[in-house]
A and B are shown apart, each in its own frame.
Chain A
């Protein structure tokens, strides 16, 4: 039964994402917290695939990055999550928005310390981009 739900929830989420390509962050946080067990890699693979597809078409799409970050959060590997953000920046992801998005997602899954760190990155990037002009 649990296995069914573990597979069903991501599948439903995936179809919702396919339709809207946008998903409220609150619901993502809720879904992650309600999962008692870490889902299998293959269950969350669709987020990664879809996210990569969106970014390939539009490297500035924050929605695409959001999907890949959801995948990283579902796998519950914080190092991977943080490394992914650094990789995004190197690939030209929109800054400082990407840091704010990451902070928001971390807040939703109760990683407050990391969320504050990302907010610091966000403010730094924001100052470099807007304040010093």
Chain B
């Protein structure tokens, strides 16, 4: 079997590439999470950040009874779910429940398989739909995906790490866009994919569905206007139909059941995302660069407008549209925060587009003029960086369009160098060198990802073991520390509820009297003011303690809050667990 059926498969280039990629992503997993495990002194506490903890908790909350993926952290908010589902997290929870696979096993599986499958699907799209050579597609996909690890913007740097968005949707969106521009109505696989991909993307990633639909509708209308005899029921028509059908099912889900509106979607924009006017202005700048280039090639070289031209111009218009909506129509939404989700599809299309244009220059007699102009531009940018003492190529401005321009510049120079210098081009054909470079970039990228400071010497591991053995289901634990406010692992590791948690308080119930009291009591406890909570002076301490369910108090050692907590709750605490890193009291 192995010799006759499996080994011959490795003679296929794509299979050997895929196997190598799987090995590489496995190594990358151990490079980064091995460091996290070393830092936390346990493989149990290695999550890269607080948001990952939240989404894994949603997955676990989905399989609790009653379901509590709406807010898995609070006892009082059981039986709720989110208005917009976290489909990947919930699906993993359900697979774990019905296949009886331990939930924690999905952590390494996700961090190895998700980037691997993303890589594989993008490579297949580039190879089969866009007709690029397989080896070049594989190498470029590695470099572009790993390039995110080196980005100075934290959200972009976490693209390959964060569970589950945006990684669960990137490759499928890439497939969607590829089908829009390169799909064939008469190809059965393309036709089936056109029905399946939009609903899956919509349910996995509503933001991406908006992006995909944008191209689908524009290209459908453009196709009809361009050729009036063309079939009205082409691939893009059916993709639009399947998106709308999925949209109705999505709306049906959103408006039924006990839903929670997460504030994270509708909350105020953080000031770090810059002024709306400059956001719009910079997006216009990017559009001007793209459109200007397309027009230049159309009129100077008499070149036909290509699918990549349309893709790049349409994504630039999309960017302008989002900046306008976010800044001036529905201001202060979180839409602008999620623009980085679109970076990977944009840099992939941009790379193909830049390569296409540089090749046209190369074939024309103007390559040397282009080279001189580019060298001049590079010197100008570097000089300006020195003068203003800011690295203009690698700095992280708040404006997404500037980040795209930075990527554009780096890709342009790289493509120009490889195309223009023979010795560099020859180097790209040396397999050993390219493999070595890919491995070096992958390992370096995974090595420089910052470790989660909350994992370092994690103090509650022993207490969680005790709670798992002795606590009643769904009891409530107050963690008297602000250090672990985003990543306390309580619910994920024990299934118990939090008294206060920054993520747990980020939903509509924040306005309920119970939720307000929870915040006031928790803050008052840490500030030594429990006896003087305004409007509640008439209540005894015992009544205040039990106004919202509270069963345990957990505190790390050492802690600035140890004295204030023990002094204020004196008489109500019974020590049940203690080790070198924490105290755990039962509230009586």
B558 lies within 8 A of A115 (CB):
no
A93-122 toward B: CB 8 Å interface, digit per residue (1/0)? 000100010011001000011011001101
In this assembly, does A123 line the interface, its C-beta being within 8 Å of a C-beta of chain B? yes
In this assembly, does A88 line the interface, its C-beta being within 8 Å of a C-beta of chain B? no
State which of A26, A120, A130 has its C-beta within 8 Å of the C-beta of B482: A120
Closest chain B residue, CB of each to CB of A104: B527
A107 lies within 8 A of B523 (CB):
yes
A120 lies within 8 A of B558 (CB):
no
State which of B485, B522, B526, B560 has its C-beta within 8 Å of the C-beta of A96: B560
Closest chain A residue, CB of each to CB of B533: A107
In the assembled complex, the CB of A120 is this many whole angstroms from the nearest CB of chain B, namely: 4
In this assembly, does A124 line the interface, its C-beta being within 8 Å of a C-beta of chain B? yes
* B:482-541 near A, CB below 8 Å: 482-483, 485, 502, 519-520, 522-524, 526-527, 529, 532
* A:119-133 near B, CB below 8 Å: 119-120, 122-124, 126-127, 130-131
Residues on the B chain within 8 Å of A131, using CB: 558
- Given A96-B560, A131-B558: A120 in contact with B485 (beta carbons within 8 A): yes
- Given A26-B532, A116-B502, A127-B483: A122 in contact with B560 (beta carbons within 8 A): yes
Residues on the B chain within 8 Å of A26, using CB: 532
- Given A123-B560, A126-B560, A130-B558: A112 in contact with B523 (beta carbons within 8 A): yes
A123 lies within 8 A of B482 (CB):
yes
A115 lies within 8 A of B485 (CB):
no
Residues on the A chain within 8 Å of B522, using CB: 116
In this assembly, does B481 line the interface, its C-beta being within 8 Å of a C-beta of chain A? yes
Question: Can you report 22 residue pairs joining A to B where beta carbons are below 8 Å apart?
Answer: A96-B560, A100-B527, A103-B523, A104-B529, A107-B524, A112-B519, A112-B520, A112-B523, A113-B519, A115-B527, A116-B485, A116-B522, A119-B482, A119-B527, A120-B483, A123-B483, A123-B559, A124-B482, A126-B560, A127-B483, A127-B560, A130-B558
Known pairs A112-B519, A112-B520 / 5 extra A-B pairs, C-beta < 8 Å:
A100-B527, A104-B527, A113-B519, A115-B527, A123-B560
- Given A127-B483, A131-B558: A119 in contact with B520 (beta carbons within 8 A): no
**Main secondary structure on B side of the interface with A:** loop
- Complex alpha-carbon distance, A123 and B485, angstroms: 11
Residues on the B chain within 8 Å of A112, using CB: 519-520, 523
Residues on the B chain within 8 Å of A104, using CB: 527, 529
In the assembled complex, the CB of A86 is this many whole angstroms from the nearest CB of chain B, namely: 14
Residue pairs across A and B with CB atoms within 8 Å: the count is 48
Residues on the B chain within 8 Å of A100, using CB: 527
- Complex alpha-carbon distance, A131 and B532, angstroms: 30
In the assembled complex, the CB of B583 is this many whole angstroms from the nearest CB of chain A, namely: 15
- Complex alpha-carbon distance, A120 and B481, angstroms: 8
Q: Which positions in A face B, CB cutoff 8 Å?
A: 26, 96, 100, 103-104, 107, 112-113, 115-116, 119-120, 122-124, 126-127, 130-131
A115 lies within 8 A of B532 (CB):
no
Closest chain B residue, CB of each to CB of A29: B534
A124 lies within 8 A of B483 (CB):
yes
- Complex alpha-carbon distance, A127 and B558, angstroms: 8
In the assembled complex, the CB of B458 is this many whole angstroms from the nearest CB of chain A, namely: 14
A116 lies within 8 A of B520 (CB):
no
- Complex alpha-carbon distance, A43 and B519, angstroms: 33
- Complex alpha-carbon distance, A124 and B483, angstroms: 7
In the assembled complex, the CB of B268 is this many whole angstroms from the nearest CB of chain A, namely: 12
- Given A112-B523, A116-B519, A123-B483: A107 in contact with B529 (beta carbons within 8 A): yes
Residues on the B chain within 8 Å of A116, using CB: 482, 485, 502, 519, 522-523
- Complex alpha-carbon distance, A130 and B559, angstroms: 10
- Of listed B483, B485, B519, B560, residue having the most chain A CB within 10 A: B560
Closest chain B residue, CB of each to CB of A106: B523
User: Considering the complex of A and B, which 8 residue pairs feature the smallest CB-CB distances, nearest first?
Assistant: A120-B482, A126-B560, A123-B482, A112-B519, A119-B482, A131-B558, A112-B523, A115-B523
A107 lies within 8 A of B527 (CB):
yes
- Complex alpha-carbon distance, A112 and B520, angstroms: 7
B481 lies within 8 A of A123 (CB):
yes
- Of listed B523, B524, B532, B558, residue having the most chain A CB within 10 A: B523
Closest chain B residue, CB of each to CB of A132: B558
In the assembled complex, the CB of A112 is this many whole angstroms from the nearest CB of chain B, namely: 5
In the assembled complex, the CB of B13 is this many whole angstroms from the nearest CB of chain A, namely: 52
- Complex alpha-carbon distance, A122 and B523, angstroms: 13
Residues on the A chain within 8 Å of B527, using CB: 100, 103-104, 107, 115, 119
Residues on the A chain within 8 Å of B483, using CB: 120, 123-124, 127
Closest chain B residue, CB of each to CB of A120: B482
- Complex alpha-carbon distance, A112 and B485, angstroms: 15
- Complex alpha-carbon distance, A127 and B556, angstroms: 11
- Complex alpha-carbon distance, A104 and B532, angstroms: 13
Residues on the B chain within 8 Å of A124, using CB: 482-483
